[in-house]
């Protein structure tokens, strides 16, 4: 009855505002109410302390004993305890006393395993111990477990003096943890002694109902007669039980996919697309958890931006704190501390000459800003003939019109629009590999173009060291040095697009450090906010600024959400993490694993090249892979890798455990080795 699309029971988490607030009584009463309505239900204590495991359900000190009292007469198991420890203290201390270390992830796995074994049940009620912030370990509490499970929650509180404060704090914590609160149960823990106490209890309930009109609040009366206790309490919670049984399963995978296909358009896909599609319910560390419960190791950092992994507490705290102060304000004529601090910090991390920061919405917009800066700079100097950009083939700079004009016009993704894009100048991609001695002849094409058309060239724009989406090609730093000399001699500006390479991906904080160069303009994005919000930045030198502002001119660009305070706050938090320096050892360790574990792919007949730099690992095949088939293969094998064209590549979050990085590499090998082409790997 009322089960999810996968046939598993409906699961509910019951937690409280503290200890002795009526969680167990509420759980037992709700269990009784569900049984009275004909549901097959069970109550489960996740961690019981103060009771030997062998005594659970047998002694009044165990919560499962109360479940059994409430469900007396049921002809199937109605009570269970997952973990029990004899010391009557906080779960982490009780577990430590017998040499057990609790973790939210392990408890979540235990719960999910238990749920899968109870497929014939309609409802499972899981009760926590103590309040939301009762520790499970030195670093985790019940809220961490909730974030893994994503079960709806019933919050239990004692209806007494101080209840409002504790309840509001608990509701804030649950909201911060993105929990869905199904109901609030207010338990009377003793009989009302006078009118004042009765007035207080009634006011507590009325106040919360007024403050949260959409939240169901259930009073649970105090009952002295034990034999009538659960029958009466079950009656009080009958409306909640009926609502639970009537609730349709939320976020069923098949429902999400069908709704997506009916309304949404995905990047570089036809509107009516039947390619593999996975619904993600939440993420953590280096993992993506699908709505059907499967967990994938992320090998892409969500298109290279989630370098610190997912749901990093420092980033979440910064975002939450900013949200309560200033979520957004226009940047025209106004400023705020977050934007100022972010600009100052970016300048401190980069060459001193990059002195002016323009905050933009996204990477593509940052490139548009850079191109407009270059054009307006040349215009300000009177160089009106300098209107074209020189860029290597194989480059990718974004999907907006200006950015598309400097992407590879033949093998890139924008050839359809070639007729309406500005005509730029293209040269061969750098032929000098990063891992080989520099060949000065690799600059011959650039030299010839500058000699023939230098008066037209406004600026050179390219991705330093690594061409990203255009081919994952790594080239020698000395190429950039030679190009910088050509620009200087011609009066052209040099623009580095570090949207993909910035913030550590290449093994240095910025790819420009490999060449020890300072461009005239620099674009940053992606990892700037640690993959939490969209934000980008375009930095330029005083020379560029002065040229643009010559004769009283202003720079003609102004996004509505420029310097959004939320994005600035989380970007500053991301820079905090980078400033700790841990990324350096993390990226180096990932690089070593990638080199070792991807090397075997070189022996596969369809593999043309294997290359690694920083946390970027690339397997280039001789022919295009079947993206749909490979994506399905990867998902079914527990990893998230998104290949394109003839490239199967990795760029995992820096915090990825090395065994996960190795597994990503092994799965790529298995996928390509199964057929030699990647066209239809066996499952």
Looking at the structure, do residues 147 and 281 belong to the same domain, yes or no? no
Q: Where does the pLDDT of residue 682 fall: very low under 50, low under 70, confident under 90, or very high at 90 and above? A: very low
Q: How far apart are CA 115 and CA 53, in angstroms?
A: 20
Active site residue 379: no
Q: Is residue 194 annotated as part of the catalytic site, yes or no?
A: no
Q: Do 55 and 169 share a structural domain?
A: yes
Q: pLDDT for 528-543, tens place per residue?
A: 999 999 999 999 999 9
**Assigned domain for 301 exists:** yes
Per DSSP, the chain holds a count of helices (H) and strands (E) of 23, 23
Annotated active-site residue in 195, 225, 268, 384: 268
Is 483 a member of any domain?
Answer: yes
Q: Which residue has the higher pLDDT, 681 or 401?
A: 401
pLDDT for residue 659: 98
Domain end call among 533, 564, 579: 579
In this structure, the answer to whether residues 592 and 565 fall within a common structural domain is: no
Q: Which residues of 274-286 are buried (b: 16+ CB within 10 A; e: fewer)?
A: eebbbbeebbbbb
Kindly report, residue by residue over 308-359, the tens digit of the pLDDT: 999 998 999 999 999 999 999 999 999 999 999 999 999 999 999 999 999 9
The pLDDT assigned to 275 comes to 85
The residue assigned the tokens 């330029």 is 540
Q: Tell me the residue range of the domain where 261 lies.
A: 257-306+583-673
- Answer with the one of 532, 553, 579 that is the final residue of a domain: 579
Q: Which of 121, 396, 475, 479 is catalytic?
A: 396
The C-alpha angle with vertex 534 and arms to 290 and 582, in degrees rounded to 5, equals: 80
Q: What pLDDT, on a 0 to 100 scale, did the predictor assign at position 677?
A: 56
Same domain as 271, residue 218 = no
For the segment 258-270, what is each residue's pLDDT rounded down to a tens digit?
899 999 999 888 8
Q: The domain that contains 416 carries what CATH number?
A: 3.40.640.10
Instruction: Flag whether 680 is in a domain.
Output: no
Order of strands, edge to edge, in the sheet holding 295-298? 280-284, 287-290, 295-298, 639-640
CA dist 596 → 389, 607, 675 (Å): 40, 16, 22
Is 65 a residue of the active site? Answer: no
Per-residue pLDDT, averaged over 574-592, amounts to: 97
User: For residues 342 and 318, what is the distance between their CA atoms, to the nearest angstrom?
Assistant: 13
Based on the fold, state whether residues 424 and 519 are members of the same structural domain.
yes
Pick from 273, 655, 652, 311: which is nearest to 667 by CA? 652
Q: Could you tell me if residue 412 is inside a domain?
A: yes
d(CA 399, CA 402): 8
- Residues pairing with 523 in the sheet: 497, 538
Catalytic residue among 63, 122, 408, 497: 497
Average pLDDT over residues 372-382: 96
Same domain, 371 and 484: yes
Q: Is residue 267, in this structure, part of any structural domain at all?
A: yes
Identify the helix (H) or strand (E) that includes residue 78. none
Identify the pLDDT of residue 357.
98
| Same-domain check for residues 516 and 593 | no
For the chain, the domain total comes to: 3
Same domain, 540 and 603: no
pLDDT higher at 498 or 220: 498
- The average pLDDT across 485-490 equals 98
Q: Which of 122, 526, 654, 660 is catalytic?
A: 526
The pLDDT tens digits of the residues spanning 8-64 come to 799 999 999 999 999 999 999 999 999 999 999 999 999 999 999 898 888 888 999
Which backbone phi and psi does 189 adopt, to 5 degrees?
-90, 0
Mark whether 34 and 169 lie in a shared domain.
yes
User: Would you state the structure tokens that stand for residue 471, as one six-digit string?
Assistant: 């081919």
Q: Is residue 542 part of a domain?
A: yes
Max CA-CA distance within the chain? 99
Give the range among 165-179, 320-334, 336-350, 554-568 with minimum mean pLDDT: 165-179
Average pLDDT score over residue span 243-264: 78
Q: In the structure, what pLDDT confidence band is assigned to residue 419 with cuts at 50, 70 and 90?
A: confident
Task: Decide if pLDDT at 681 tops 50.
Answer: no
Cα separation, 559 vs 563, whole angstroms: 9
Give helix 238-246 / helix 23-36 axis angle, nearest 10°: 60
Q: Hey, what's the torsion of the CAs at 288, 294, 299, 301, to 10 degrees?
A: -10
CATH assignment of the domain containing 145: 3.40.50.300
How confident is the model over 452-471, as pLDDT tens digits? 999 999 999 999 999 999 89
Helix then strand then coil, % of the chain, to nearest 5: 40, 20, 40
- Mark whether 575 and 587 lie in a shared domain: no
- Active-site residue flag, 526: yes
Closest CA to 648 of 675, 624, 615, 632: 624
pLDDT bucket at 637, cuts 50 / 70 / 90 = very high
Cα 674 to Cα 453, 639, 664, 667, 680, distances in angstroms: 50, 17, 16, 11, 8
Domain presence at residue 2: no
User: How much is the average pLDDT of 171-180?
Assistant: 88
The answer to whether residue 679 is domain-embedded is no
604: domain CATH number is 3.90.1150.10
Single residue among 516, 550, 579 that ends a domain in this structure? 579
Structure tokens at 525: 């994005």
Please report which confidence band the pLDDT of residue 683 belongs to, taking 50, 70 and 90 as the band edges.
Answer: very low
Q: What percent of the chain has pLDDT over 70?
A: 95
**Residue 208 and residue 119 share a domain:** yes
- Are 570 and 587 within one domain? no
């Amino acid at each position: 009855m009322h089960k999810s699309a996968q046939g598993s029971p409906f699961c509910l988490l019951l937690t409280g505002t503290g200890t002795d607030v009526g969680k167990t009584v509420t759980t037992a009463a709700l269990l009784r109410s569900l049984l009275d309505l004909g549901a097959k239900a069970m109550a489960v204590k996740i961690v019981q302390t103060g009771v030997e495991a062998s005594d659970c359900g047998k002694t009044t000190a165990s919560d499962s004993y109360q479940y059994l009292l409430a469900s007396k007469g049921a002809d199937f198991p109605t009570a269970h305890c997952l973990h029990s420890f004899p010391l009557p203290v906080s779960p982490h201390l009780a577990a430590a006393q017998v040499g057990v270390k609790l973790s939210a992830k392990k408890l979540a796995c235990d719960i999910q395993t238990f749920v899968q074994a109870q497929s014939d049940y309609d409802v499972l009620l899981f009760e926590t111990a103590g309040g939301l912030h009762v520790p499970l370990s030195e670093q985790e509490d019940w809220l961490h477990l909730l974030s893994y499970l994503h079960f709806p929650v019933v919050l239990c509180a004692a209806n007494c003096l101080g209840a409002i404060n504790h309840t509001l704090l608990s509701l804030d914590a649950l909201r911060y943890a993105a929990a869905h609160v199904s109901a609030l149960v207010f338990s009377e823990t003793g009989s009302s002694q006078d009118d004042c106490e009765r007035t207080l209890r009634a006011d507590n309930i009325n106040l919360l109902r007024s403050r949260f009109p959409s939240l169901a609040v259930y009073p649970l009366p105090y009952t002295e007669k034990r034999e009538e206790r659960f029958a009466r309490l079950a009656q009080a919670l009958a409306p909640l039980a009926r609502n639970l049984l009537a609730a349709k399963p939320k976020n069923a995978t098949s429902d999400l996919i069908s709704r997506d296909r009916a309304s949404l358009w995905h990047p570089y896909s036809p509107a009516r697309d039947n390619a593999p599609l996975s619904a993600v319910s939440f993420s953590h560390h280096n993992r993506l958890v699908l709505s059907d419960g499967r967990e994938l190791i992320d090998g892409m950092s969500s298109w290279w931006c989630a370098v610190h992994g997912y749901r990093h507490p420092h980033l979440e705290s910064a975002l939450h704190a900013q949200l309560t102060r200033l979520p957004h304000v226009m940047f025209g004529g106004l400023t705020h501390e977050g934007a100022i601090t972010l600009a100052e910090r970016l300048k401190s991390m980069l060459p001193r000459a990059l002195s002016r920061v323009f905050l933009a919405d996204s990477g593509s917009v940052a490139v548009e800003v850079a191109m407009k800066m270059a054009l307006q700079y040349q215009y300000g100097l009177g160089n009106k003939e300098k209107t074209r950009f020189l860029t290597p083939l194989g480059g990718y700079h974004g999907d907006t019109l200006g950015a598309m004009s400097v992407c590879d016009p033949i093998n890139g993704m924008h050839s359809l629009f070639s007729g309406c894009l500005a005509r730029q100048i293209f040269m061969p991609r750098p032929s000098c590999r990063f891992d080989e001695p520099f060949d000065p002849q690799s600059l011959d094409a650039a030299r010839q173009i500058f000699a023939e058309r230098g008066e037209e060239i406004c600026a050179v724009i390219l991705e330093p060291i690594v061409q990203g989406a255009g081919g994952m090609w790594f080239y020698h730093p000395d190429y950039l040095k030679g190009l910088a000399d050509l620009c200087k001699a011609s009066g052209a500006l040099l623009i580095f697009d570090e949207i993909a390479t910035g913030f550590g991906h290449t093994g240095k904080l910025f790819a420009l450090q490999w060449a020890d160069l300072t461009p005239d303009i620099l674009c940053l994005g992606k990892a700037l906010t640690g993959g939490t919000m969209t934000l980008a930045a375009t930095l330029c030198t005083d020379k560029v600024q002065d040229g643009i502002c010559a004769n009283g001119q202003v720079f003609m660009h102004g996004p509505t959400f420029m310097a959004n305070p939320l994005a600035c706050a989380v970007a500053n938090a991301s820079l905090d993490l980078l400033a700790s320096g841990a990324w350096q050892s993390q990226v180096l360790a990932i690089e070593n694993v990638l080199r070792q574990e991807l090397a075997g792919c070189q022996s596969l007949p369809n593999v043309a090249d294997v290359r690694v730099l920083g946390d970027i690992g690339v397997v280039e095949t001789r022919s295009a892979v079947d993206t749909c088939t490979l994506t399905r293969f990867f998902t079914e094998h527990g990893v998230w890798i998104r290949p394109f064209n003839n490239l199967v590549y990795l760029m995992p979050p820096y915090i990825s455990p090395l065994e996960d990085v190795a597994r990503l590499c092994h799965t790529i090998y298995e996928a390509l080795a199964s057929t030699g082409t990647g066209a239809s790997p066996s499952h």
